[in-house]
Amino acid sequence: MAFDLEMIQAVYAGMGQRIEAARTAVGRPLTLTEKILYAHLYGGNVTQSFERGVSYVDFAPDRVAMQDATAQMALLQFMQAGKAQAAVPSTVHCDHLIQARDGANEDLAVANDENREVYDFLASVSNKYGIGFWKPGAGIIHQVVLENYAFPGGMMIGTDSHTPNAGGLGMIAIGVGGADAVDVMAGMAWELKFPKVIGVKLTGKMNGWTSAKDVILRVAGILTVKGGTGAIVEYFGEGANNLSATGKGTICNMGAEIGATTSVFSYDEKMGDYLRGTSRAEIAEAAAAVAHHLRADDEVYANPEAYYDQLIEIDLNTLEPYVNGPFTPDAAWPISQFAAAVKEHGWPEKLEVGLIGSCTNSSYEDITRAASIAEQAVTKGLTVNAEFTVTPGSELVRYTVERDGLLDTFAQMGGVVLANACGPCIGQWARHTDDPKRRNSIITSFNRNFAKRNDGNPNTHAFVASPEIVTAFAIAGDLTFNPLTDTLTSKDGQQVKLDEPRGVEMPPQGFAVEDAGYQAPAEDGSGVQVLVDPTSDRLELLEPFKPWEGTDLMGLRLLIKAQGKCTTDHISMAGPWLKYRGHLDNISNNMLIGATNAFNGEANKVRDFVAQGDTYNTVPQVARNYKSMHIGTVVVGDENYGEGSSREHAAMEPRHLGVRAVIVKSFARIHETNLKKQGMLGLTFANKADYDLIEEGDTIDILGLTTFAPGKQLQARLHHVDGDTDLIYLNHTYNEGQIEWFKAGSALNLIRLKEAGQA
């Protein structure tokens, strides 16, 4: 599992000169984001300055990480690229496919059995292409990356939207779709629009019940789910230096929920502590030696308004704990106002389950703080009124907290320890309930709370908070409880108050683990066979998508006009569907089944205009019907379409089922790129009000494609059922290279043509 010290030293050795060149090119002091980005230009030399929010830039990330649910598609694509080895250090992490039901050991055994074919596939592809493989049970990708691979000033991409977690160790870590990972593993440039930079200045020091999680819950309330789009969030100020590296990780992790490209902290002693504590003292030393490169220039901190595109200030002294939700992570309630909000909105007051852990909140510090509350359930003689689960982020953390007696503490309050995996966070939760449709409330220390995400029940109101707040709520079993001010009645009738949480950043006896779960790849993988059974329902080799036909697209059918929130969970649901992540045709049966049809307010019920008798059917079925008649389709959507996950299935499924264009009011970054990579048209209404012109039964022509060019609008002609037509204008963000992807049918088609010397 050895981290790559030489690679890291090489990054540091080149940094000074590149940053100096960047400062000259840009002509002003640099933010930390700019330093790291300019130090990672593809080709190395800094010869020009780039405009934030405008220039497309080629980067050379240091690493790639993939989790099992996205790695399947990423590696199926990589296998088509014709390379012998991954060009940069890369890892695969088996974390998403383990279903939480009875507890860690039982659930892991079931997962190993049920997913054997997929795990064997991932292990053998990894072995063949020089990719490190973390077995099921080793932990959640982002926690394992933080413990082993993240380093200050580095740059990585990961096929998961919470990859930014590594910003806690000062890394620019960006969530992408699998096709992007293929570029980097193939040794090609990875392209990103040079981001804007949002500064968040943290002053003061947290106290009492407030934790790092509350910083990001508050920021989410300020910026909303789309406020970070196209930007990197850079945290600084004395308050930042007081936060543990893992606390910083929590903040960066959940930056995904505001749409940020990533989030990052500058190097400080807390990062040094964490690196030393996780057996990487050499990196701490190397980083300390270049610490001036691992922070913004002094002028930036002295006058932040002048250098950041937007500035937010948060005073940690007065920051309250937050509870965010339900159904969206940016509905932020300070704890002092939460009970009133619960009453006012009529959310179910009884709390049924509290769930802690996940990639967001699994550190030693998190566990100790939560345990200090759990302990009081016993010492103060309290009844625990909700179910309680713990998902450790990694085997390293789990082993260590078990050794230190903390898991026992949770067990004593009735907690169930689940496998080191995503579990309930991604709907891998066989929730014990008598009625899967009941209105109910749960609270988690995870990051997302979209409808149906955890247990598939649209009536589950999921709230997000810190682990210690979740634990306190689980004891109370009541959402109107405020642990800071309210008392609970003990078993012997006393009114008792919970003491403030106490945490320990790093284990006093150090981390320990018996088997971390890592498998190194073969030195020479050329002889390794990767087998995919042609009859498998879990894995399917990919067929290249067809290139563009060279004409405008005439007579497309409107498949669905989606209304309101349409996240990747709505477009390609997770939970039970995760098992088809390596089989494009099978997983396509979940396409857009969660999206609300604007014409009838229902999910997964759209009109089929070519079926016998003009009927309604499910979205995938209607798409298949049009496809079988060679009729292309269009999906129309609302704001921030495709928010949430990096899963490229949300782009590949529509591509596979014949959707040609996705036209929306606005996109989330990763999803927009995923559409482009798969050869789709991802377009936005030039005039957002034109969304209202789209009528049920429309056929749509997409015009202007023969002169498709960067910055030049396309048009759509809408043919309504009553014979009327409308001509509307569509914006796009395709650059020259991306237009080539569209023409070739996908980015991968272009790579393949290039490998074969035909492009």
Tell me, residue by residue from 605 to 634, as one string, x for binding to ligand SF4 by CB under 6 A and - for no binding. Answer: ------------------------------
Touching ligand MIC, residues 393-452 (CB under 6 A)? 426, 448
Minimum CB distance to ligand MIC, residue 736 (Å)? 28
Query: Is residue 134 part of the contact set for ligand SF4 (CB under 6 A)?
Result: no
Minimum CB distance to ligand SF4, residue 248 (Å)? 16
Given 101, 280, 295, 448, the catalytic residue: 448
The answer for residues whose C-beta is within 8 angstroms of residue 213's C-beta and 6 or more apart is: 250, 251, 254, 322, 360, 361, 445, 465, 466, 467
Touching ligand MIC, residues 45-74 (CB under 6 A)? 69-70
Closest CA to 185 of 75, 44, 94: 75
Residue 115: which of ligand MIC, ligand SF4, none does it interact with, CB under 5 to 8 A by kind? Answer: none
Residue 464 or residue 530: which is nearer to ligand SF4 going by CB? 464
Minimum CB distance to ligand SF4, residue 446 (Å)? 6
Residue 310 sits at φ, ψ, to 5 deg, of -155, 145
Whether 589 and 573 have beta carbons less than 8 Å apart is answered as: no
Q: Which stretch binds ligand MIC (CB under 6 A): 185-193, 226-234, 468-476, 640-648?
A: 640-648
Q: Which stretch binds ligand SF4 (CB under 6 A): 76-84, 418-426, 590-598, 632-640?
A: 418-426
Among 18, 93, 162, 538, binds ligand SF4 (CB under 6 A): 162
Residue 80 or residue 449: which is nearer to ligand SF4 going by CB? 449
Closest CA to 530 of 80, 1, 185: 80
The CA distance from 571 to 563, in Å, is 12
Active site residue 583: no
The answer for residues whose C-beta is within 8 angstroms of residue 306's C-beta and 6 or more apart is: 300
Active site residue 533: no
Q: What 8-state DSSP symbol labels residue 603? A: B
Whether 367 and 407 have beta carbons less than 8 Å apart is answered as: no
The CA distance from 643 to 571, in Å, is 10
Exposed (0-12), middle (13-18) or buried (19+): which is 616, by Cβ within 10 Å? Answer: middle
Which 3 state secondary structure label does DSSP give 684? strand
**Tokens in use for 598?**
């604007």
Give the number of C-alpha atoms closer than 13 A to the C-alpha of residue 218, restricted to the C-beta side: 20
Among 370, 371, 419, 425, binds ligand SF4 (CB under 6 A): 425
Residue 52: which of ligand MIC, ligand SF4, none does it interact with, CB under 5 to 8 A by kind? Answer: none
Residue 293: which of ligand SF4, ligand MIC, none does it interact with, CB under 5 to 8 A by kind? Answer: none
Given 107, 160, 214, 690, the catalytic residue: 160
Which 3 state secondary structure label does DSSP give 118? helix
Residue type, 346: G
Q: What 8-state DSSP symbol labels residue 168? A: G
Among 23, 52, 96, 607, binds ligand MIC (CB under 6 A): 96
Active site residue 160: yes
Q: Which stretch binds ligand MIC (CB under 6 A): 120-128, 330-338, 391-399, 643-651?
A: 643-651
Tell me, residue by residue from 299 to 338, as one string, x for binding to ligand SF4 by CB under 6 A and - for no binding. Answer: ----------------------------------------
Query: Is residue 358 part of the contact set for ligand SF4 (CB under 6 A)?
Result: yes
Give Dmax (Cα) for the chain. 80
The CA distance from 6 to 604, in Å, is 52
Residue 378 sits at φ, ψ, to 5 deg, of -80, -55
Residue 446: which of ligand SF4, ligand MIC, none does it interact with, CB under 5 to 8 A by kind? Answer: ligand SF4
Given 280, 647, 669, 732, the catalytic residue: 647
Q: Which stretch binds ligand SF4 (CB under 6 A): 293-301, 420-428, 608-616, 631-639?
A: 420-428
Minimum CB distance to ligand MIC, residue 82 (Å)? 26
Q: What 8-state DSSP symbol labels residue 242? A: T
- H or E stretch including 614? none
Residue 23 sits at φ, ψ, to 5 deg, of -60, -40
Could you please report the per-residue DSSP string of 392-422? -SBHHHHHHHHHTTHHHHHHHTT-EEPPSS-
Closest CA to 575 of 692, 678, 425: 425
Residue 219 or residue 681: which is nearer to ligand SF4 going by CB? 219
**Tokens in use for 534?**
């042609």
Residue 358: which of ligand SF4, ligand MIC, none does it interact with, CB under 5 to 8 A by kind? Answer: ligand SF4
The CA distance from 461 to 443, in Å, is 8
The CA distance from 699 to 679, in Å, is 21
Whether 107 and 98 have beta carbons less than 8 Å apart is answered as: yes
Residue 140: which of ligand SF4, ligand MIC, none does it interact with, CB under 5 to 8 A by kind? Answer: ligand SF4
Q: β-pairing, 172-175 with 633-637?
A: unpaired
Minimum CB distance to ligand MIC, residue 66 (Å)? 10
The CA distance from 343 to 347, in Å, is 7
Residue 211 or residue 358: which is nearer to ligand SF4 going by CB? 358
Query: Is residue 426 part of the contact set for ligand SF4 (CB under 6 A)?
Result: yes
Q: β-pairing, 714-719 with 699-703?
A: antiparallel
Tell me, residue by residue from 93 to 112, as one string, x for binding to ligand SF4 by CB under 6 A and - for no binding. Answer: --------------------
Residue type, 742: F
Which 3 state secondary structure label does DSSP give 217? helix
Given 126, 372, 394, 645, the catalytic residue: 645
Minimum CB distance to ligand MIC, residue 139 (Å)? 14
Residues in the interface with ligand SF4 (CB under 6 A) total 11
Whether 561 and 694 have beta carbons less than 8 Å apart is answered as: yes
Q: What 8-state DSSP symbol labels residue 46? A: -
Q: Which stretch binds ligand SF4 (CB under 6 A): 101-109, 421-429, 601-609, 628-636?
A: 421-429
> Starting at the edge strand that comes first in sequence, how are the strands of the sheet with 231-236 ordered?
262-265, 231-236, 196-203, 310-315
Q: What 8-state DSSP symbol labels residue 53? A: T
Touching ligand MIC, residues 316-335 (CB under 6 A)? none
List the beta bridge partners of residue 603.
596
Given 96, 162, 583, 655, the catalytic residue: 96
Query: Is residue 661 part of the contact set for ligand SF4 (CB under 6 A)?
Result: no
Query: Is residue 60 part of the contact set for ligand SF4 (CB under 6 A)?
Result: no
Minimum CB distance to ligand MIC, residue 602 (Å)? 24
Whether 752 and 758 have beta carbons less than 8 Å apart is answered as: no
Which 3 state secondary structure label does DSSP give 232? strand
Tell me, residue by residue from 644 to 683, as one string, x for binding to ligand MIC by CB under 6 A and - for no binding. Answer: xxxx------------------------------------
The CA distance from 269 to 239, in Å, is 13
Among 68, 107, 160, 234, binds ligand SF4 (CB under 6 A): 160
Touching ligand MIC, residues 139-178 (CB under 6 A)? 160-162, 175
Residue 93: which of ligand MIC, ligand SF4, none does it interact with, CB under 5 to 8 A by kind? Answer: none
The CA distance from 495 to 485, in Å, is 12
Query: Is residue 422 part of the contact set for ligand SF4 (CB under 6 A)?
Result: yes
Query: Is residue 359 part of the contact set for ligand SF4 (CB under 6 A)?
Result: yes
Q: Which stretch binds ligand MIC (CB under 6 A): 22-30, 301-309, 639-647, 700-708?
A: 639-647
Among 8, 11, 57, 140, binds ligand SF4 (CB under 6 A): 140
Residue 114 or residue 486: which is nearer to ligand MIC going by CB? 114
Closest CA to 658 of 730, 747, 559, 541: 559
Touching ligand MIC, residues 445-484 (CB under 6 A)? 448
Residue 272 or residue 642: which is nearer to ligand MIC going by CB? 642
Residues that bind ligand MIC (CB under 6 A): 69-70, 96, 160-162, 175, 426, 448, 574, 644-647
Residues that bind ligand SF4 (CB under 6 A): 140-141, 160, 162, 358-359, 422, 425-426, 446-447
**Active site members:** 95-96, 160, 448, 645, 647
